[in-house]
Structure 1
Amino acid sequence: MSQGFEIQIFNRHKNRMEIEKVYGDNMVKFAYGNPIGRLLGPVIASKTLSQLYGKSQDSLKSAQKVAPFLKNFNIDIDQYQKGSFKDNPIETSYKSFNEFFIREFQEGQRAFTQKDDEMGAFAEARYFGHESMSDDLTIPVKGSMLRAVDLIGDSELAKAFIGGPLMIARLCPVDYHRYHYPDHGKTLQSFTVPGDLHSVNPLALKYRHDIFIKNERRVSILETEHFGKLAYIEVGATCVGKIVQSFDESQPFKKGDEKGYFLFGGSTVVLCGEKGNWAPSSDMLENTKAGIETYIQLGDVVAQTN
């Protein structure tokens, strides 16, 4: 990438380092690195613009973007289910770009770890992990300190997570965009924290460090069987028209159940835990210390109980 800034990822599944190919990287650089782009920032990060753009991804015409997108990002589409047009080849089976964007895996493509002391990856994403947040609940994100209390948006609720572990799972536009429950349990409460819709790409975070606490997000407090209480936070992003909850939160959930999905855009899920209950996987912790995200497939191990 230009400007000497590359996003390095360790792909656990392939056991190798990779350079991320960024969708819309020139637009991100313009919006956050260019003086004119920064002036337009409030418009670019506005909910209205994201919703309008998101709506355009629902049009039949938007489906024409699917085939070039697959080719450009080398996506193995055969892992996924077809869209509405079942008789078409999979590349032309989706009625819109958004339908392609929220595609589902075929049966048997991903499996959640069955061990009770292992947490399954709740998103197929690039992970940062921190074993324990400091006493005032600050976490390092790209050189800036963020307080988890600000992520949760409620100081009373945040007390349960002081000094606890934390994981940040970043989804790119090329990824599977459904997110899942990491363990069996029930939802204690959930609410939306209003905000902007900035890009969550590391290029944007390089220029602007407060994105995670400025963006709109949805917080669920979960009581799980093996990992205690969790704060499960879905963070909106530029061009994410909507964060959709597909699970009935009044019902108990099982490990691996789908919780919801993001409509078009790159997005993030943040998971906070109680102190001493569990720790992120050792490879994730090591890579995080080096400033490198770990790409982990849905259902693979992301944490163990202590």
Structure 2
Amino acid sequence: MIQMIYRLFIELTNRKSTSRLLAKFSQSKMSRLFIPSFSRIYHINQLEMEKPINEYQSLHAFFTRKLKSDARTIFQDPLSVISPVDATIEDMGTIALDHSISVKGKKYSVSEMLGGNDKVQKYLNGTYIIFYLSPSNYHRIHSPISGKVLSQRAIGTKSYPVNKYGIKYGKRPLSKNYRIITEMYYNGVSMTMVKVGAMFINSIEILHKNAEVEKGEEMAYFSFGSTVVLLFEGDTFTPALKSLPCPIQVGECIGYLKETRMD
């Protein structure tokens, strides 16, 4: 019953008109009046922000804020993988024989998540990691590795909540929501980053334009709360995380690609 009511509410409220109105308001000068209360409610660390709070001209500008250049330290081991976002790592596991992952007791098809079967086989027995960004988090997305960008595409239309209730009761939001999929390559290893849009505002703005990226380089940003999924092929990734859920920041090491040792 809870699941049915939750889905009905989302279907009734998640419309293009609602999304446009919310997006328009968040980018208006009027919305700046809500910045102080937003910062207070979500405990935003103003000391690490690039600009003083009174210089942001809209709620959207504040939400997509940059940080000071020294606010995050990028772990530099060549074969390390860093967190691409400030978030909570909610789940991690092995991609099953049927190419599915299990998140909060719900199964997701990797094929459906990636929008097709053509690149799924390589991820069999690989590792998946789920990063959930709350409204309190810094919402810019950085490259988890140095390497080549093999492909990038957007799929999906509507977006449903990706918080713990959305994951539990929603209609497979990680594989249904609007999302941008970036496949990357380094040292013989392929990795895919799935950037999943959240309810109402689907905006995922891509910033990088080059075919190669450096670890820690800014790649995109989310408008409002969202989720990132990392997929690693086969046995190419060794995690460095000890327990979940795990709060994490951009630049912190989450594991290593193959041919490296754990220190």
TM norm. shorter chain > 0.5: yes
Secondary structure of the structure 1 residue equivalent to 2:119 = helix
Cα contact 1:127–1:168 (8 A) shared by 2: yes
The match for 2:115 is 153
1:257 aligns with 2:217: yes
Q: How does 1:274-293 map to 2 (within 5 A)?
A: 274-283=233-242, 286-287=243-244, 293=245
Match of 1:67 among 30, 36, 41: 36
How far has the Cα of 1:217 moved from its partner?
0.8
Q: Which residue of 2 aligns with 1:4?
A: none
Alignment of 1:46-57 (within 5 A): 46-57=15-26
Residues 85 and 140 of structure 2 are in contact (CA less than 8 Å); yes or no, is this contact kept in structure 1? yes
Identify which of 234, 240, 250 aligns with 2:195: 234
Aligned 8 A contact 2:82 2:144 in 1: yes
Q: Could you tell me which residue of structure 2 aligns to residue 208 of structure 1?
A: 170
CA contact (8 A) 2:88 2:247 kept: yes
> How far does residue 40 in structure 1 lie from its aligned partner after superposition?
4.0
Aligned pairs (5 A) from 1:184-195:
184-195=146-157
Deviation at 1:45, TM superposition (A): 2.7
Q: Which residue number in structure 1 is paired with residue 204 of structure 2?
A: 243
Give the drift of 1:128. Answer: 3.3
Structure 2 counterparts to residues 174-189 of structure 1, below 5 A: 174-189=136-151
Deviations 1:197-237 (A, max 9, x none): 10101022222251111111111111124x71111111111
Q: CA, structure 1 residues 252+197, in 2 after alignment: closer, same or farther (shift >3 Å)?
A: same
Compute the displacement of 1:240 (Å): 2.4
Q: Which residue of 2 aligns with 1:268?
A: 227
CA RMSD of aligned residues (A): 1.8
The alignment of Structure 1 onto Structure 2 pairs a total of residues equal to 257
Residue equivalent to 1:121 = 83
Structure 2 counterpart SS, 1:140? strand
TM-score by length of 2: 0.91
Provide the C-alpha distance between the structure 2 equivalents of 1:81 and 1:239, rounded to a whole number of angstroms: 27
For residues 99-123 of structure 1, what are the alpha-carbon distances to aligned partners after superposition, in whole Å with 9 as ceiling and x for unaligned?
A: 0001111011101101123211111
Alpha-carbon distance in 2 for matches of 1:114, 1:266:
28
Q: Deviations over 1:25-79 (max 9, x none)?
A: xxxxxxx7683x6434324233442232122100001011111111122221110
2:58 corresponds in structure 1 to 96
- Paired residue secondary structure (2:40): helix
Contact 1:125 1:296 in 2 (8 A): yes
- Which residue of structure 2 aligns with residue 81 of structure 1? 50
Change (3 A) 1:241 1:145: closer
Secondary structure, counterpart of 2:22 in structure 1: helix
Percent identical pairs in the alignment equals 25
Superposed CA offset, 1:131-185 (max 9, x none): 4211112111111111212111121112221211111111111111100111111
Code of the residue aligned with 2:236 in structure 1: it is N
Kindly indicate whether the alpha-carbon contact (under 8 Å) linking 1:152 and 1:231 is maintained by their aligned counterparts in 2: no
Residue 11 of structure 2 corresponds to residue 42 of structure 1 = yes
CA distance in 2, matches of 1:172, 1:220: 22
Distance 2:69 2:150 in 1: 30
Shift of 1:279: 2.4
Q: Which residue does the alignment assign to 1:111?
A: 73
Equivalent-residue separation in structure 2 for 1:279 and 1:45 (angstroms): 38
Distance 2:105 2:161 in 1: 17
Note if 1:295 corresponds to 2:257.
Answer: no
Instruction: Give the ranges of 4+ consecutive aligned residues of structure 1 lying more than 4 Å apart after TM superposition.
Output: none
Contact 2:191 2:233 in 1 (8 A): yes
Q: Is the 8 A contact 1:132 1:163 kept in 2?
A: yes
Q: Unaligned stretches of 5+ in structure 1? A: 1-31, 83-89, 288-292
Q: Counterparts in 2 of 1:9-24, with a 5 A limit?
A: none
Contact 1:120 1:183 in 2 (8 A): yes
Residue identity opposite 1:151 in structure 2: M
Paired with 1:302 and 1:166, the residues of 2 have a C-alpha distance of 12
SS at match of 1:167: strand
Q: Extract unaligned runs of 5+ from structure 2.
A: 259-263
What's the counterpart of residue 304 of structure 1? 256
CA distance in 1, matches of 2:255, 2:149: 20
CA contact (8 A) 2:160 2:170 kept: no
Residue identity matched to 2:80: E
SS at 1:282 equivalent: coil
